[in-house]
Amino acid sequence: VQYFLLGKLRLQKWFVPTSDRERKKVIRDMIMLVLPRQPRTCNFLRWKDLKIVYKRYASLYFCAGLEEQDNELLALEVLHRYVELLDKYFGNVCELDIIFNFEKAYFILDEFLMGGEVLETSKFAVNVSMEQADTLQEACTSLPRSLWCV
C-alpha cells in the first residue's frame, strides 16, 4: 500500500515519500476518479502505474493506492477491517467521529498498518492497544499539569 485516503480527505496516510505537490495532485485525481462512480461499479481502478482500491461506507470513501504486485482483494479486506476497527472503537463510526477524534483514527490505523503492510490482523489485539492507550491518556491527564506524561 502506497497511501491510504479517507473521503473528503478526513484522513490520509502515505507510506512512500511523496512531495506535497504530488500528494495534492494524487488527492485531486482520486477525488475526480472515485467520487463520481456509480454505487454498483467495480471497486478497483487503474491509475498511472498504480492500482486503486476503494470502498464506500455510508458517506465515507476509503481509498488505497497499491503497487503492481499487491493484491486488490486483500487491500479491499484491509479497508473493510479498518472500518470494522473504527466501528468497534467508536460504535458505528461516522464522519464526525473521524473529524473530532482524528488522532484516534490515526492511532487505530498505525496499530493496524505499518509501512503499508498489515501489522496486526487481530481486531482483539488492536482493541486492547486502544484501551491501553486510552487508560494511559486518562492517567496522564488526571495528574497535575506539572507532572503530565510526556
pLDDT at 90: 93
Q: In whole angstroms, what is the distance from residue 3 CA to residue 29 CA?
A: 14
Write the CATH number for 116.
Answer: 3.30.450.60
pLDDT at 149: 62
**pLDDT > 60? residue 132:** yes
pTM greater than 0.75 (yes/no): yes
Cα 140 versus chain centre, distance: 27
Domain encompassing residue 108? 3-147
**pLDDT > 80? residue 134:** yes
Q: In whole angstroms, what is the distance from residue 4 CA to residue 52 CA?
A: 10
Give backbone dihedrals phi and psi of 141, rounded to 5 degrees, phi first. -80, -15
| pLDDT (average), residues 58-72 | 92
SS3 65: strand
Q: Residues 7-61: pLDDT tens digits?
A: 578 889 999 999 999 999 999 899 889 988 998 899 999 999 999 999 999 888 9
Under DSSP, the state recorded for 117 is: E
Residue with cell 456509480: 38
pLDDT at 10: 86
Amino acid at 34: V
Strand partners, 63: 5, 54
**pLDDT > 60? residue 150:** no
SS3 66: strand
pLDDT at 137: 86
Q: Residues 79-93: pLDDT tens digits?
A: 999 999 999 999 999
Q: In whole angstroms, what is the distance from residue 13 CA to residue 15 CA?
A: 7
Q: Structurally, how many domains does the chain consist of?
A: 1
At residue 144 the predicted structure's pLDDT band, cuts being 50, 70 and 90, is: confident
